[in-house]
A and B are shown apart, each in its own frame.
Chain A
Amino acid sequence: MAAGQAFDEIRGQDGPDAIRPEFAALGAWLDRTPQADLERRLEAAEATFRQLGITFAVYGDADAAERIIPFDIVPRVFTASEWAGLSEGLVQRVDAINAFLDDIYGAREILRAGVLPEELILGNPQFRPEVVGTRPPHGIWAHICGIDCVRTGPDEFFVLEDNARTPSGVSYMLENREAMIRLCPELFRDFRVAAVDSYPDMLLETMRSVAPASAGAEPVCVVLTPGHFNSAYYEHSFLADSMGVELVEAADLVVDDDVVWMRTIGGRVRVDVIYRRIDDDYLDPLVFRPDSLLGVPGIMAAYRAGNVALINAPGNGIADDKAIYSYMPEIVRFYSGADAKLPNVQTFRCREPDALRYVLDHLDQLVVKLVDGSGGYGMLVGPTASSAEIEGFRAALMATPERYIAQPTLALSTVPTLTERGLAPRHVDFRPFVLSGRGGVKVVPGGLTRVALKEGSLVVNSSQGGGTKDSFVLMGDAPAQQQTLGAMTQRQG
């Protein structure tokens, strides 16, 4: 659908100059702040990001080190009630993801019940037999989830993708907020914005809560990075720094007697909890890829012995796999006994005859994707496809329907964004961060908003010209919060 028909999160559905009553203060701010002033603040924010080194690498790009993800100065805002609804759905979904992982690597009740086709799990390379029979400390698997959502109306959110392995982007949430407090302090007077700067404390608390029984009262936690050449290295060091824990590489850790130790100047220190930003494949050369130089030999033995907590748990990839996604509503129902509060984007599994019939009748309206494809390869976008392309897909679908899924094209919401020609609506998505510890599942009141900076574009990926925005979550009648920034304290509300 064209951008003009989409729901604008700030302006509502009443045209380019309207404003939703809840956000009158933001409308007034946008009206009274000259464009040149907004541009000046934007440049200041980007200069800071460059200085901090929040860059990302695009493979094959010689200027990679210079690239920062573009930032937009106009925040996205959630009302307290919109946020409450979204959070409930996120908690339910992440609870289900944890229950699913515990089951699928344990009793496999969900397969016995016939909720999922067995081959979808057992034949999936993300289902790791090396993990079978192991339970992470306290039975928690997906400690940090980034659940990518899109929105089509005030309370209409859809999950696009679950990220239960090593979701990144939380440093942007924190740095974007710092920039906004510094550059647009008046917004924090106009709005009662929930603080996100407690995220590192929440993360550390989550990590400590899942320490194995062998840990002392002060469990030793570390962040394990593949190294400074990794595109998310800034985030690894940022998180270690803000939690006050060591940032380590594989060479800093040794496993001895099924226990993980960290080498320090003062000798060996026993490590209890590892937030590892290394994929399963590279985690332990003795168990996974033998050519991995990034991993720690023996770390899986320490994990299986229950002597260390790995965050997130190995084997989680089966929960956020593309082929599993379309079954998430059934998975949520199986483990929670209730319908999913947060729906998926409607997905037709062409392996099912009824779905296939519908898809073949509506090819001009649907997006058809290969289950095992990626990067837009093997994809049909019905509304913009030629009739020859549609007929080509019709033949492919009838030949091997099980390889395809189809989804309706969604009218993604927009948020006003600063462009060269003034404020204009741009499509956004959202990655909230959800933490699971012994104390339960918590949603950080904020997240990473990605915005497609090109007019009409739905592609928010940073590698393809997407940018980010701050995401305000308004507090209802909760007491005023303080947003701290270095030595400076900014009172909100």
Chain B
Amino acid sequence: MRIAVDHRTRYRFTEPQVRLVQLLRLTPQDSIDQTVVNWHIGVDCDARLREAVDGFGNRTTMLYCEGPIDAIEITVHGEVLTAGDAGLVRGVIEPLPPALFLRVTDRTRASAAMRDFAQEIAPGEDRIARLHALNSALHARFACREERNDTGLSAEAAFRREHASPRDLAHLLVALARAEGVPARYVSGYHTREDGEGHAPHAWAEAHVDALGWLAFDPSRGLSSDEHYVRVAVALDAAGAAPVAGSRLGEGRECLDVDVQVAELGRQ
């Protein structure tokens, strides 16, 4: 599949800012299942950009901008060729061993209620079947609702609600998998929706199974990932994989506006 991504992030400030420093995780990497054909990050003001790779192996871009700044728009445009086979994650740079992803963070703690929920799900014949069962059960339980900004909700808090964002569902699956001793991680990226809707970055989860390596599950759809996905960043939870982590020097409030267009340009 050839997928085109347009991702626009616009910050407006009620007072001019003196300077901005941002850490962007907005660039996908090549793997067996995805080839970045072209990718460009643009900024609508005089900013300096520096590329690097973080400890998780994610490609990062540091953005430095001197004020006065009333607004800044970061535009990402690119095209990626994707394959994808039943959620297998292949040929990805892995600087960290799977066991690191057993670590529980504040956002990925499994509450007693979550454990009870998991207990009621059929155990599954093996680990892979069990992960599929957890993934489907989460999909069935929550109405999935897109949210453009990270609300910082933990898995425990998200579980108490009726609806959940892709980020919340990814946290929930990560928390449930870790609680059962399966290494699991949060993934941010893009997904092309059948209905053509969807205006936010997407999030899902990967779990590690010894026989196969990392497998990607999308609890928002109750399915494995496939050629409709562009994988960008992984981390222990959403905070570590955030598309933009920013710091600003200046008074006033900020207003964030995000828009994502993901289009399938056809099969190759």
Contact = CB atoms under 8 A, between A and B. Distances in A.
Interface of A: 108, 111, 118-119, 122-123, 125, 127-134, 254-258, 285-287, 290, 297-298, 301, 304-305
Interface in B46-79: 48, 50, 52-57, 60, 62, 64, 66
A129 B96 contact: yes
Contact of B99 (A122, A130, A297, A304): A122
Lowest 3 CB-CB distances: which A-B pairs, in order?
A: A297-B247, A132-B55, A297-B21
B95 A132 contact: yes
Contacts of A128: 55
B103 A298 contact: no
Nearest to B105: A125
Contact of B50 (A123, A133, A134, A258): A258
12 contacts: A111-B97, A119-B102, A122-B97, A123-B103, A129-B96, A129-B100, A133-B57, A286-B23, A286-B246, A290-B245, A298-B23, A304-B54
Given A129-B96, A132-B55, A286-B23, A301 B62 contact: yes
Given A132-B55, A256-B48, A301-B50, A108 B239 contact: no
A305 B52 CA distance: 8
A40 to B, nearest CB: 53
Given A255-B21, A287-B245, 4 more contacts: A123-B102, A298-B247, A304-B54, A305-B50
Contacts of A130: 54-55
Contacts of A132: 55-56, 95-96
Nearest to B66: A256
Contacts of A118: 97, 99
A127 B101 CA distance: 12
B55 A119 contact: no
A185 B132 CA distance: 78
Contacts of A290: 239, 245
Contacts of B96: 122, 129, 132
A304 B52 CA distance: 8
A161 to B, nearest CB: 24
B179 interface: no
Nearest to B245: A286
Interface of B: 19, 21-23, 48, 50, 52-57, 60, 62, 64, 66, 95-97, 99-100, 102-103, 236, 239, 245-247
Given A298-B62, A301-B62, A123 B99 contact: yes
Contact of A119 (B62, B99, B245): B99
A125 B100 CA distance: 10
A34 to B, nearest CB: 61
B97 A301 contact: no
A257 B19 CA distance: 13
Contacts of B66: 256
Given A133-B53, A133-B55, A257-B64, A301 B103 contact: no
A119 B99 CA distance: 7
Which secondary structure characterizes the binding site on chain A? loop
A185 to B, nearest CB: 52
Given A128-B55, A129-B55, A297-B247, A257 B48 contact: yes
* Highest count of chain B CB atoms <10 Å: which of A297, A298, A304: A297
Given A132-B95, A290-B245, A301 B52 contact: yes
A367 B256 CA distance: 55
A304 B66 CA distance: 22
Contacts of A301: 23, 50, 52, 60, 62
A122 B103 contact: yes
A352 B68 CA distance: 61
A125 B103 contact: yes
A257 to B, nearest CB: 5
Name which of A111, A133, A290 has the most chain B CB atoms within 10 A of its CB.
A133
B29 to A, nearest CB: 14
A304 B95 CA distance: 15
Most chain B CB neighbours (cut-off 10 Å) among A119, A130, A256: A256
A287 B236 CA distance: 13
B84 to A, nearest CB: 26
B22 to A, nearest CB: 8
Nearest to B100: A122
Nearest to B246: A286
A257 B23 contact: no
A305 B48 CA distance: 15
Contacts of A257: 48, 50, 64
A258 B66 CA distance: 14
B247 to A, nearest CB: 4
A83 B174 CA distance: 53
A195 B60 CA distance: 49
Contacts of B239: 290
Nearest to B244: A286
Nearest to B98: A122
A398 to B, nearest CB: 23
A263 B239 CA distance: 30
B94 to A, nearest CB: 11
A287 B23 contact: yes
Contacts of A131: 55
Contacts of B245: 286-287, 290
A297 B18 CA distance: 14
A164 to B, nearest CB: 19
